[in-house]
Structure formats: C-alpha cells, structure tokens
Structure 1
C-alpha cells in the first residue's frame, strides 16, 4: 500500500503543532524568531490540513491555503523516523496535482534559507522567486506542464 492524504481534523492539532515546533524550532532560534503555539493554532484553523499516511501509519502532514494566484504549501512536515522515505516528495506531487486540477497559476511556498528541504523543493520543480530576510519564496508554475 502507498501513501495517502487524509483530511485532518481539530483532533490532529496537537500532533501538527508538536511536529512543527520540533522540526522548526531550530530555525526560529537561529533567526531570533519567537515560536507561539497560539499563532500556530490560529493559522491551523484557517487552512486546509491533510495528514500524510502510509499503511495506516501517520507520517506527517501538509497545510494549504489558496488565493487567485496560487495554491500555497504553508506547512509540510514529516516525522523524523520517516524522513528520506518519499513522503515529502509524494505530498508535493499531490499538492501540485491539486493546483493543476484547480487551475491555479502556481504552487508556492516559503522556506527558511538554511533549511535543507530547499533541495527537495528544487528537485520537485520549485524555483526561488524572492527572498525576505531569512526566508526564500519558491514557486512552480502550473503552465509549465503545457509547454
């Protein structure tokens, strides 16, 4: 059995917050930013959240938002025990397929400039299109499939 996306619910908030804090806290500290559980909770409530599951084992999650310009990956985190096994790559493919299906112009995300996940995003076709302080803005245009 392969990977699947399952809709997350309010019951998954604690899992997502804990995983995000564990994976991102080093970057927050490195860039002198303040992690706030309350801010995460508010953002979670306003997004479309999906669990990444393989063989009925929860491996991570992806959090999305949209506007007329793009489908945005706001969070993508995989439990450390499952990193490097294809879950993140598969999830990006699924989200890009959503962007295509919804006829969004692009898939976008923001990543800390020092986060090694940048290499994964580049392999999946996202390119750096801007920089803000410690963040890189990355994008993959949907119309590139039509060329």
Structure 2
C-alpha cells in the first residue's frame, strides 16, 4: 500500500475546493478572512496540482507554484480519515525532492494550524511572519 501522486485534472477541482474549504474554514474565521470559491478556482488554474493517493483511494491533494528561487506549497490537505498515517510526511519528502533544482521549498501556514509541527519535523524553519501566518522554508540540496 504505497502512496503515490497523480496529476490533478479539472474533474478534481470540486474535490480539492471542498477539501480545502473544510480544512481551512476555521482558520479563515479565526483570522477574519473571507473564503472565495472563485478565488480558489483562479488560483487552481495557475498552479501545479497533484492528488495524494494510496492504491485507488484519493487521500488529499497538494498545490504548488514556483518562481526562479523556490518551489512553493500553496495547499496541502488530507481527508480527515487519512491524517496521521504518514501521507503528509511522504508527500513532503517527495516535494522536497522536486525542490532540489531550485534549492528552496517554501510555504505559509496559519499560526494556529498544528500542521506547523509536521513542517518543522520535516526540516522547515520559520523565516518570517505576517498577521496570522508563519512563513516557513526548507533548504533542499542535491546530496
């Protein structure tokens, strides 16, 4: 039962949008932010999106973007039933390998989101903050 990534398609958009809204709504409320389906859809269209799978089950998804200096994790969400089973650790290892060409892997996380602990265990450091967010990064070099 190995994890794998599958390139997401337009047919996966509604799953990813609903999962993100469910996972993030409380943080939006805490930080007085407004969720926008249209905003999510616009961002989805401009990103590299992958489904996180095990066998024929979809566990979650990850959304990436990049610039000349870093690979950015924009979204990383797992269905509640699949959290705590190693999928988050596995996908972060895979994305760190993808980031080696650029050297840096970056993300932003709500300060109250416990996922920050996973990111820190996986080698991310807090490098800044904005309002209710931590900016984090991990150096990814070819060994």
- TMscore range, shorter length: over 0.9
TM-score (normalizing by structure 1): 0.95
Q: Is 2:103 aligned against 1:105?
A: yes
Question: 1:55: Cα distance to partner?
Answer: 1.4
Counterpart position of 2:32: 32
Question: 1:68: Cα distance to partner?
Answer: 0.8
- How far apart, CA to CA, are the structure 2 residues paired with 1:128 and 1:69? 17
- How far apart, CA to CA, are the structure 2 residues paired with 1:142 and 1:97? 7
- Out of 121, 135, 138, the residue aligned to residue 137 of structure 1 is 135
Counterpart position of 1:128: 126
- How far apart, CA to CA, are the structure 2 residues paired with 1:96 and 1:105? 9
Counterpart position of 1:18: 18
- How far apart, CA to CA, are the structure 1 residues paired with 2:117 and 2:45? 29
- How far apart, CA to CA, are the structure 1 residues paired with 2:3 and 2:66? 23
Question: RMSD across aligned C-alpha pairs, in angstroms?
Answer: 0.9
- How far apart, CA to CA, are the structure 1 residues paired with 2:105 and 2:12? 25
- How far apart, CA to CA, are the structure 1 residues paired with 2:88 and 2:103? 22
Displaced runs of 4 or more, over 2 A? none
Gaps of 5+ in 1: none
Q: Is 2:59 aligned against 1:59?
A: yes
Aligned positions, number: 143
TM-score (normalizing by structure 2): 0.98
- How far apart, CA to CA, are the structure 2 residues paired with 1:24 and 1:116? 12
